[in-house]
Amino acid sequence: MDIVILKDSDQVAAYGAALFRRLLHDKPDAVLGLATGGTPIALYRRLIADYSDAMLSFREATTFNLDEYLGIDPRDPQSYRSYMRRELFDPVDIDIANTFLPECAAGENPLDVGPRYEQLIRSKGGIDLQILGIGQNGHIGFNEPTSSLVSRTRIKTLTRETLAANRRYFDAPALQPQLAITMGIASIMDARDIVLLATGSRKADAVRQSIEGPVSSMWPASALQMHERVTVLLDDAAASQLAQRDYYDWVQQQKQELLNERGGA
């Protein structure tokens, strides 16, 4: 894991946006794995600004989102489809036909959505860069604690904790879906590169458990320890409980020095 600890959430967003810029520059038709929640919004704003400054284009890109509520109308402002249109898709030049979420079409059997989504991801060549947030309970996507570490896209029942954390987005509790369709942990692990973003002290425990704790389905993000190319972008607050923090800073310093030497050679 490449653990990068930055001063604040702005720097986390800037660092994450630079990774997207580089990828889309090298591979304009990249397949991007996208996440929702409050954390990636600052990153999406940077991408929109970069697009406005003609520094990147999504014209040829394809996107797959991690999850979507089950039974929500895609036009509902709280659907993840609406979130993505608002926070990224509509302001940039992406072709909406190339944007996918694990949505259950009218009349479709919800149990068929997962296998269909997995097949679709495969048919597009797999995800090049997957961005992730993390729940306070360590969930990634909606893979709640005890999710199988080899799970695939499927229906999940949300925990009370997750429902409480996301209640603020809904006008009334009765309007909040209790079920979601989420990419599984194995689906996420198939991505060639993964970037996990965490900001704020509310995430500090989940970050510590997932990075420094044992690999366990009780902290689903800990599965990322088994992936070869993960970058974890943290602000100071989210990193505040890490026991090896000095080491992570030291590693980044060494890396920078190596890069500078190579750049100067």
Q: Which residues are catalytic?
A: 67, 137, 139, 144
Query: Closer to ligand GLP at the Cβ: 62 or 65?
Result: 65
Match 């409480």 to its residue by tokens: 164
Q: Does 38 bind ligand GLP (CB under 6 A)?
A: yes
Q: Are 48 and 90 in contact (CB under 8 A)?
A: no
CB of 180 to ligand GLP, least distance (A): 7
How far, rounded to the nearest angstrom, does the alpha carbon of residue 10 sit from its chain's CA centroid? 17
When binding is defined by CB under 6 A, the residue of 12, 23, 66, 129 that contacts ligand GLP is: 66
Q: Token pair for residue 138?
A: 């360590």
CB of 35 to ligand GLP, least distance (A): 5
Closest CA to 170 of 40, 111, 83: 83
Sheet containing 31-34: give its strands across.
Answer: 2-6, 230-235, 193-198, 129-132, 31-34, 62-65, 99-100
Q: How many residues bind ligand GLP (CB under 6 A)?
A: 14
Q: Token pair for residue 153?
A: 């896209």
3-class DSSP assignment, residue 206:
helix
Query: Closer to ligand GLP at the Cβ: 37 or 62?
Result: 37
When binding is defined by CB under 6 A, the residue of 6, 24, 33, 39 that contacts ligand GLP is: 39
Q: Does 37 bind ligand GLP (CB under 6 A)?
A: yes
Q: Does 64 bind ligand GLP (CB under 6 A)?
A: no
Distance CA 166, CA 147 (A): 19
Taking residues 161 to 200 in sequence order and writing x for each that binds ligand GLP by CB under 6 A, - otherwise, the string is: -x---x----------------------------------
Q: Does 30 bind ligand GLP (CB under 6 A)?
A: no
Query: Closer to ligand GLP at the Cβ: 16 or 37?
Result: 37
Distance CA 43, CA 54 (A): 17
Of 33-41, 45-53, 187-195, 207-215, which segment contacts ligand GLP by CB under 6 A? 33-41
Question: What sign for the dihedral angle of Cα 37, 42, 46, 52?
Answer: positive
Q: Token pair for residue 11?
A: 């720097």
Q: Which of residues 119-138 bind ligand GLP (CB under 6 A)?
A: 133-135
Strand 179-182, strand 67-69: pairing: antiparallel
Burial class of residue 109 (count of CB atoms within 10 Å of its CB; 0-12, 13-18, 19+) = exposed
Query: Closer to ligand GLP at the Cβ: 62 or 166?
Result: 166
When binding is defined by CB under 6 A, the residue of 58, 64, 69, 142 that contacts ligand GLP is: 142
Query: Closer to ligand GLP at the Cβ: 39 or 210?
Result: 39
What number of H helices and E strands is found in the chain?
8, 10
Query: Closer to ligand GLP at the Cβ: 78 or 252?
Result: 78
Q: Which residues bind ligand GLP (CB under 6 A)?
A: 35-39, 66-67, 133-135, 141-142, 162, 166
